[in-house]
Chains A and B, each alone.
Chain A
Amino acid sequence: NAGVTQTPKFRILKIGQSMTLQCAQDMNHNYMYWYRQDPGMGLKLIYYSVGAGITDKGEVPNGYNVSRSTTEDFPLRLELAAPSQTSVYFCASSYLQGASYEQYFGPGTRLTVT
């Protein structure tokens, strides 16, 4: 199993540009999540999905959109990029939902908005 994969690894965006961060998992997990991590801080939940076709907002959803058309894929869309979105983005998945179930994380995408 490849686990959770993310592309790209790095990206530099200009203010106002848009992009999609890709995330895929091959563990047949129902639950998928997007987090952002600012330097020296913990992770903050952006969006999550409990299954194909179902998504919901996390702690910091503003400026982002997600979709979940298949079990495997959970892309994160940034519209009108802003410097405040400079961060490392992690995708994760789990078999069941909730803090008592192990989440598997991808390697992250480092995004800089200038």
Chain B
Amino acid sequence: LAKTTQPISMDSYEGQEVNITCSHNNIATNDYITWYQQFPSQGPRFIIQGYKTKVTNEVASLFIPADRKSSTLSLPRVSLSDTAVYYCLVGNAGNMLTFGGGTRLMVKP
């Protein structure tokens, strides 16, 4: 399984754009990059998944450079309700999900 490295914590303010970068230097050719969000006392929730370039959905964008050794989750105009832990996972159909420590995002008013 590709090991991922992401910042332990980040602070932001309401209305700002937040970018969380994840490093995965040994990503395999058939690996996908997936981000989950977890609020306190809740199970993780799927946010977005991508393989290369850029993916956008109603809540976030995922930027993946050509070498795929890193990825950046972008949350536009965050609000207090975006305060959560964000997990970056890398794997494919043959792997189990392996959660690291995640990035604890604190959005301040």
User: Which of these binds chain A: B11-19, B63-71, B94-102?
Assistant: B94-102
Residues of chain A from 32 to 71 with CB closer than 8 A to chain B in the complex: 33, 35, 40-45, 48, 58-59
Q: Is the CB of A58 within 8 A of B41?
A: no
Is B49 within 8 A of A42, CB to CB?
no
Judge whether B34 is part of the interface by a CB distance below 8 angstroms.
yes
A97 to chain B, nearest CB (A): 7
Instruction: Tell me whether B94 and A98 are in contact (CB under 8 A).
Output: yes
The contact of A42 among B46, B94, B96, B101, by CB within 8 Å, is B101
Query: Binding site of B, secondary structure by majority: helix, strand, loop or mixed?
Result: loop
Among the stretches A14-22, A72-80, A104-112, the one at the interface with B is A104-112
Identify whether the interface residues of A are mostly helix, strand, loop, or mixed: loop
A101 lies within 8 A of B93 (CB)? yes
Q: Is B5 an interface residue (CB 8 A)?
A: no
Residues from chain A with a CB closer than 8 A to the CB of B87 are 42
* B: contact size bracket: 20 to 34
Inter-chain CA distance A43–B89, complex, in Å, is 12
| Contact assessment for A99 and B41 in the assembled complex, using a CB-CB cutoff below 8 Å | no
In the complex, what residue of chain B is closest to A88 when comparing beta carbons? Answer: B41
- A110 and B46 CA atoms in complex are apart in Å by 22
Within A86-107, which residues are at the interface with B (CB < 8 Å)?
Answer: 88, 90, 92, 96-107
A sample of 13 more A-B contacts (CB under 8 A), given A101-B93, A108-B41, A108-B42, is A33-B96, A35-B99, A41-B101, A42-B87, A43-B44, A43-B99, A45-B98, A99-B89, A99-B91, A99-B93, A99-B97, A102-B49, A105-B43
Q: List 5 A-B contacts (CB under 8 A).
A: A42-B99, A100-B93, A102-B46, A102-B49, A105-B45
Interface residues of A (CB under 8 A from B): 4, 33, 35, 40-45, 48, 58-59, 88, 90, 92, 96-108, 110
User: B residues touching A (Cβ–Cβ < 8 Å)?
Assistant: 1, 31-32, 34, 41-46, 49, 87, 89-102
